[in-house]
Amino acid sequence: MTRRKFLIGGTTVAGGLIVGYGLWPSGRLARANLLAAKPGERFLANWIKIGRDDIITVVVPHCDMGTGVFTSLSQMAAEELDADWAKVRAETAPADPLFANGPLAEGFGLEQMQITGDSIPGFLRATAANSFRVIAEYMDLQTTGGSASVRMTGVYGMRIAGASVREMLVQAAAARLHAPLRALRTESSRVIHLPSGQSFSYGELAAEAARYSPSAHPKLKARSAYSLVGRPVPRLDIPAKVKGATQYGIDTQLPNLCYGAIRISPVFGGKLVSVNDSAVAEHRGVKKIVRLDDAVVVVADRFWRARDAVGALEPVFDHGGNGDVSSKSIRDRHLAALNDAKIKQEHVTGAGAEALKNATVVERIYNVPYLAHAPMEPVNATALYKPEGTLEIWAGTQDGLGSRRFCAKTAGLDVEKVTFHLLPSGGGFGRRLPDLWNFLSYAVKVSMALPDVPVKLIFTREQDMQHDFYRPNVTSRFRAAVNQDGIPVAWVNDYTTDDDPNQEAHIFYGVPNQAYRAAKITTHVPTGPWRSVEASWHGFFIESFLDELAHQAHRDPLEYRRALLADKPRHLATLNLAAEQAGWGTPLSPGCARGIAMVECFGTIVAHVAEVEVSQDGAVKVHRFTSAADCGMAVNPDGFRAQMESGVIFGLSAALYGEITINRGAVVEQNFPDYEVVRLAQCPTIEVHMHESDAPLGGAGEPGIPPVAPALTNAIFAATGVRIRELPVMKHALAQAARG
């Protein structure tokens, strides 16, 4: 299994229970204090510092890319710690192996093995947990992805760290008072001696508490006892963000800073042939022209001078043998691959494809295009190489420790010689994950060409859009056999993939015979995880095909889904909640209609009902999205709601407009006018309803997205009778079909 797959590969079985916690041996606390504690602060266990001034700082092994995890993870630690929330702060963990994210390895490890903590014998649990810490260090694991921060780092890390630190503080107070532990309780960052009423603040006790070892198995609170988790506390990062004070990677300031502007071969894989150096000889501020294998960079004293100069260089690139590839040629290859007899079966239930024989078979083909991530902050990195062999980098990525290792490898340096400063990201959506780090690699190479000069390399929006790692172009062909009631008894899905088979292709609906076949196709177009990953396409495919089957059977799409969810109570309840809140079945104005879809992704079930209007001229207006979600329990309900709203808008931008087109081997779209997104004028009303359950905590950042496109296209079908099987919606003419 690849590192990427381990981290963000889709999977649906969540490990539910704790197996203990890979806590640091005491020698590591001293090192952590050296690395990341300010005067007056000290670490008591992994991730938690307490200051003499009573300020508790949660050190978060994730990036801040906007999803609010610094707040929700701090809530989880503070809950178990009985901390005074007003005195809790959060900061980014250093990109050091000491702060590798063991709980993340543990969470994903358990998920991949499809086991829960209960399956590991008690006496082995601490060993297992420690192994995950070692694995995290080995893998340089500090990744933010897979909607994993709360459900992995929080569940397997932060709350155990909080609870064990609380126990250490109680032990310290007990020793001071020569009192039994049971005479003490904790509240609002104080340990209180019940018989006397005497109390000590956490800050007062921190130094003494640090002499005790944190327990790997502290007593954890039951959900019913939570007072901070489950509360919509305001996010810790927002005050700085409204003031424009947050320092993103692109805001890095250094003495004598220079700026790099890059031009990369438009055709992926093309090489730099020539540049016209003399064209910039008179350009003010130009320091150096750096020729790279597949790109050219101009370094200047100001960014706009570098940017203008790199344009003036008129670089020439070859096509690397890919000059004939187009979206159409790629599409043809996908269709051909599905007809290849050697296509590999990856999963089967019941009689599989055999059940299609002698039955009424419905067949449909769907396709989604390449998509760019297009975060608002174009990718960039600042690097400073010193001739004595050290390298320092400042950037926003989705993995600080992994980035450090990557930069060291790129520079050919030992990792100890490299410092990586992880800064907040202006959006990520997968663009800043491991394996997608072209911006780091170019920045490191440029800095090595200018020793002692810090260089901030910024991709223009055009370079960012044309040199992304795109959500793959995927084609899927479904065949279903239906019974006399129109209910599917066989479900066969052949799909293309540029990676391993996709677990997210598998359905949760009760169809007795299923078969899945994956046809692997790679092209020269670089691809990578895009917010919600495999579910972003399989959600559209599955929920579209199911809707088609419902309409073909002349059955209501909601009622049809219900019939297939008899043994899925959480799914059924979530679907029903969305439908009820949306007023499913109640009349709408002429031209308006509803569509419904539901997808489970990263442990969270989300159902959307879209309400759309298609005008006579074919214009689609999305009026309303009614959403229901079951993530077990939301740590910060307002933050969770924000992520669902975010998912609806991100998903709608992609479904309505999103397409990266390949022509002559290169990306056609250059900037936002060609890659349009939902703005205020297209933004529907969004209502989010929660279905609470006792399920393990699910993700928040991604699960809102997959059901958006099918809810939308199912509604468009209900309004017009036009079935959209290829995204985006924008490229389909709906005018003739629209009913008045």
Partner 1 sequence: MGIRLRVNGVAHELDVEPDAPLLWVIRDELHLTGTKFGCGIAACGACTLHVNGKAMRSCSVRVGSVAEAEITTIEGLGGGGLSPVQQAWIEHQVPQCGYCQSGMIMAVSAFLATNPTPTDDQLAAAITNICRCGTLPRIRAAVRTLAAGKGAGAAG
Binders of partner 1 among residues 560 to 579 (CB under 8 A) are: none
**Please, is 25 exposed, middle or buried when counting C-beta atoms within 10 Å of its C-beta (0-12, 13-18, 19+)?**
exposed
Q: Which of 317, 394, 420, 429 binds partner 1 (CB under 8 A)?
A: 429
Continuous segment of H or E residues that includes residue 272 = strand 272-274
* Cα–Cα distance list, 123 to 45, 132, 212, 217, 275 (Å): 22, 16, 22, 12, 65
Q: Residue 166 or residue 287: which is nearer to partner 1 going by CB?
A: 287
- Of 105, 115, 50, 118, the residue nearest 83 (C-alpha): 50
Q: Residue 173 or 648: which CB sits closer to partner 1?
A: 648
Q: Please identify, using beta-carbon distances, which residue of 178 and 243 lies nearer to partner 1.
A: 243
Minimum distance, C-beta of residue 227 to partner 1, in the bound complex (Å): 20
In terms of Cα–Cα distance, which of 666, 667, 631, 655 is closest to 725?
655
Q: What amino acid is encoded at 228 in this protein?
A: L
CA distances from 347 to 194, 276, 320 (A): 60, 55, 37
Please report how close the Cβ of residue 520 comes to partner 1 at its closest, in angstroms.
31
Candidate segments 145-153, 297-305, 404-412, 726-734, binder of partner 1 by CB under 8 A: 297-305
Residue from the set 520, 685, 730, 731 that interacts with partner 1 by CB under 8 A:
685
Q: Is residue 30 part of the contact set for partner 1 (CB under 8 A)? A: no
Contact call for residue 683 and partner 1 (CB under 8 A): yes
Q: Binders of partner 1 among 622-641, rule CB under 8 A?
A: 638-639
**Is 370 strand, coil or helix?**
strand
Does residue number 344 form part of the binding site for partner 1 (CB under 8 A)?
A: no
Q: Structure tokens of 195?
A: 């018989």
Site residues for partner 1, 57-76, by CB under 8 A, read: 64-68
Q: Which is nearer to partner 1, 643 or 720 (CB)?
A: 643
Sheet holding 604-614, edge to edge: 592-601, 604-614, 620-630, 685-690
What is the residue whose two structure tokens read 């439908």? 579
Residues 227-286 binding partner 1 (CB under 8 A) are 234-235, 237-248, 250-251, 253, 259, 284
State the nearest-atom distance from the C-beta of 539 to partner 1, in Å. Answer: 17
- What would the two tokens of residue 502 be? 């996709």
Contact of 315 with 289, CB cutoff 8 Å: no
CB of 637 to partner 1, least distance (A): 11
d(CA 379, CA 377): 6
# residues near partner 1 by CB under 8 A? 63
Among 24, 70, 212, 303, binds partner 1 (CB under 8 A): 303
Nearest to 653 by CA among 672, 667, 669, 631: 672
Tokens, residue 339: 């007809």
For tokens 């919606």, the residue is 729
Closer residue to partner 1, CB minimum distance, 300 or 505: 300
- Span near partner 1 by CB under 8 A; candidates 157-165, 216-224, 349-357, 644-652: 644-652
Distance (Å, rounded) from C-alpha 161 to C-alpha 203? 17
Q: How far is the CB of 645 from partner 1 (least distance, A)?
A: 5
Q: Which of 673, 694, 733, 740 binds partner 1 (CB under 8 A)?
A: 673
37 in contact with partner 1 (CB under 8 A): no
Using alpha carbons, select from 652, 555, 553, 574 the residue that is nearest to residue 612.
652
* Dihedral sign (CA 425, 426, 430, 432): negative
Report if residue 439 touches partner 1, rule: CB under 8 A: no
Residue 679 Cβ vs partner 1, minimum distance, rounded to whole Å: 5
Minimum CB distance to partner 1 smaller for 242 or for 281: 242
User: Segment 460-479, which members bind partner 1 (CB under 8 A)?
Assistant: 460-462
What token pair was written down for 550?
């419902």
CB nearer to partner 1: pick between 222 and 681: 681
- Work out which of 378, 501, 557, 632 binds partner 1, going by CB under 8 A: 378
Work out the angle between the directed axes of helices 637-657 and 708-720 (0-180°, nearest 10).
Answer: 50
Cβ contact 324:282 at 8 Å: no
- H helix intervals, 634-694: 637-657
Count of all residues that appear for the chain in the document: 740
How distant, in Å, are the alpha carbons of 140, 215, 717 from that of 732?
45, 60, 12
Part of the chain binding partner 1 (CB under 8 A), chosen from 84-92, 216-224, 456-464, 716-724:
456-464
Nearer to partner 1, 133 or 373 (CB): 373
> Which residue do the tokens 């959307």 mark?
608
Residue nearer to partner 1 on the CB measure, 237 or 500: 237
Q: 3-class SS at 57?
A: strand
Q: Which stretch binds partner 1 (CB under 8 A): 153-161, 298-306, 487-495, 692-700?
A: 298-306
Q: Which stretch binds partner 1 (CB under 8 A): 442-450, 601-609, 646-654, 710-718?
A: 646-654
What's the one-letter identity of residue 443?
Answer: A
Interactions with partner 1, residue window 318-337 (CB under 8 A): none
Q: In a 3-state reduction of DSSP, which class is residue 319? A: coil
The backbone region for 413, taken as left when phi is positive above 0, alpha when psi lies in -120 to 50, beta otherwise, is beta
Residue whose CB is less far from partner 1, 179 or 683:
683
Q: How far is the CB of 261 from partner 1 (least distance, A)?
A: 11
**304 touches partner 1 (CB under 8 A):** yes
Summarize as ranges the residues that interact with partner 1 (CB under 8 A).
64-68, 234-235, 237-248, 250-251, 253, 259, 284, 302-304, 374-378, 424-429, 458, 460-462, 638-639, 642, 645-650, 653, 671-673, 677-681, 683, 685-686
